[in-house]
């Protein structure tokens, strides 16, 4: 049973990644003191992960966001044991974290079909409760969505991430020659000749200070957490957000992006990473690339020339560095091949680790059987 009350949500564009709602388990049924009958337990509220469901769907379908499970049946002469109340199932997107209103995490739903108990129903009246029913659990919870993708595009505004996504996938993000074209995450699928598909998320451009939530930084950075790999996209000619901000060379841009990731969550730097150097069709791009490659080969030789605020404590190790042009198409096929190779290598490594664990468990089990005999 679903009823409606109040809800609070945060959104940018039409994309919602945070939704606050009220859940309540059903009240238990009355006991039957004369015959020792026990009332039915109240129904539970469950969140069930489902593909093609969005937080916007939930908001539109249930505008006031109150989810109440059914009450348990009272005990009676005909049925001393009352029936359990009807459960309330709420379909939510895959990739959801469920949080209490105070920020504590209740659990996560990372695969279709996974279930999470949001509010437990109350016990039915019995001898232990003097045959009086208990109320169901009630609380306000927050659904926090983090996109799940194989690869996350990371870069400053206007680096060409949206153009790149449109080149390597069938996605149609908004593209223009001004800053902050992308205001909501876009997902695309890279299709290969053998029908392999790799999902790529175009995340809205970061700015300096994103780790401290500048420019809605936390909204954007949190989506990087659940991508398997990072693909940094950098403009070879450098970047300047506005006339009031400093111009950053491509080398400084890479360091700044690394620092923003590091300051938000240091573990992000342990993800496999690729680097796409975009806009190679521009004048002087070849000279700039030659200089950048020298800087990346021996970054320590150049750090003393930079401001301390730009330098991260740790640097990203790029598996491949690919010069590209989303305008001419240069390097796009090579980049797609590198993405595929990197994803396949990581999958093989995970499989190998899984096989080793299974073998170790098997050996441990056999040794235990030998010792017992």
Which pLDDT value is given to residue 206?
64
Q: What is the 3-state secondary structure (H, E, C) of 67-102?
A: EECCCCCCCCCCCCECCCCCCEEEEECCCEEEEECC
pTM over 0.75: no
Which pLDDT value is given to residue 220?
67
Give which of 27, 41, 39, 126 is closest to 84, Cα–Cα.
41
Which pLDDT value is given to residue 224?
81
Please report the beta strands in the chain, taking only residues with DSSP state E, as ranges in sequence order: 2-3, 8-12, 15-24, 45-49, 66-68, 88-92, 96-100, 105-109, 115-119, 138-145, 149-154, 186-191, 197-202, 227-235, 273-278, 318-323
pLDDT digits (tens), the chain, 373 positions: 333 333 333 333 456 778 999 999 999 999 999 999 999 999 999 999 998 888 989 999 999 899 999 999 999 999 999 999 999 999 999 889 999 988 899 999 988 999 999 999 999 999 999 999 999 999 999 998 877 789 999 888 888 888 899 899 876 644 434 333 444 677 888 999 998 999 998 876 565 554 444 444 456 677 788 789 999 999 999 988 778 778 889 999 999 899 888 888 888 899 999 999 999 999 999 999 999 999 999 888 888 888 887 888 888 889 999 999 999 999 999 999 999 999 999 989 888 888 888 888 888 877 767 666 6
Which pLDDT value is given to residue 11?
38
Strand, coil or helix: what is 327? coil
CB of 203 within 8 A of CB of 153?
Answer: yes
Name the helix (H) or strand (E) containing 256. helix 250-264
Report the relative pairing of strands 273-278 and 227-235 from DSSP bridges.
parallel
Question: Could you give the angle at the alpha carbon of 177 between the alpha carbons of 172 and 178, nearest 5°?
Answer: 105
């Amino acid at each position: 049973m679903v009823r409606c009350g109040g809800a609070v949500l945060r959104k940018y564009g039409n994309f919602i990644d945070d939704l606050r709602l009220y859940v309540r388990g059903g009240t238990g049924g009355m006991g039957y003191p004369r015959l020792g009958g026990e009332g039915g337990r109240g129904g539970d509220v469950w969140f069930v992960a489902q593909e093609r469901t969005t937080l916007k769907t939930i908001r539109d379908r249930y505008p006031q966001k109150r989810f109440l499970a059914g009450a348990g049946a009272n005990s009676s002469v005909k049925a001393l044991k009352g029936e359990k109340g009807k459960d309330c199932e709420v379909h939510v997107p895959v990739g959801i974290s469920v949080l209490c209103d105070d920020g504590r995490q209740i659990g996560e739903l990372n695969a279709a079909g996974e279930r999470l108990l949001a509010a437990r129903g109350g016990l039915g009246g019995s001898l232990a409760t003097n045959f009086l029913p208990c109320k169901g659990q009630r609380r306000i919870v927050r659904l926090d969505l983090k996109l799940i993708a194989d690869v996350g595009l990371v870069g400053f505004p206007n680096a060409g991430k949206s153009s790149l996504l449109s080149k390597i996938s069938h996605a149609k993000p908004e593209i223009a020659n001004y800053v902050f074209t992308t205001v909501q995450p876009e997902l695309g699928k890279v299709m290969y000749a053998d029908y392999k598909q790799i999902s790529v998320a175009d995340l809205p451009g970061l700015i300096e200070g994103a780790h401290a939530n500048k420019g809605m930084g936390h909204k954007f950075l949190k989506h990087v957490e659940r991508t398997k790999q990072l693909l940094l996209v950098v403009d070879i000619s450098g970047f300047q957000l506005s006339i009031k901000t400093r111009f950053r060379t491509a080398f400084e841009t890479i360091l700044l992006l690394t620092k923003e990731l590091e300051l938000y969550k240091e573990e992000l730097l342990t993800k496999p990473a690729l680097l796409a150097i975009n806009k190679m069709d521009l004048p002087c791009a070849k000279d700039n690339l030659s200089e950048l490659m020298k800087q990346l080969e021996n970054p320590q030789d150049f750090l003393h020339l930079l401001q301390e605020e730009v330098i991260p404590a740790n640097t990203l190790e790029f598996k491949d560095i690919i010069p590209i042009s989303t305008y001419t198409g240069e390097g796009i096929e090579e980049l797609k091949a590198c993405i595929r190779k990197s994803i396949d290598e990581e999958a093989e490594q995970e499989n190998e680790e899984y096989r080793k664990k299974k073998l170790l468990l098997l050996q441990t089990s056999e040794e235990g059987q030998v010792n017992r005999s």
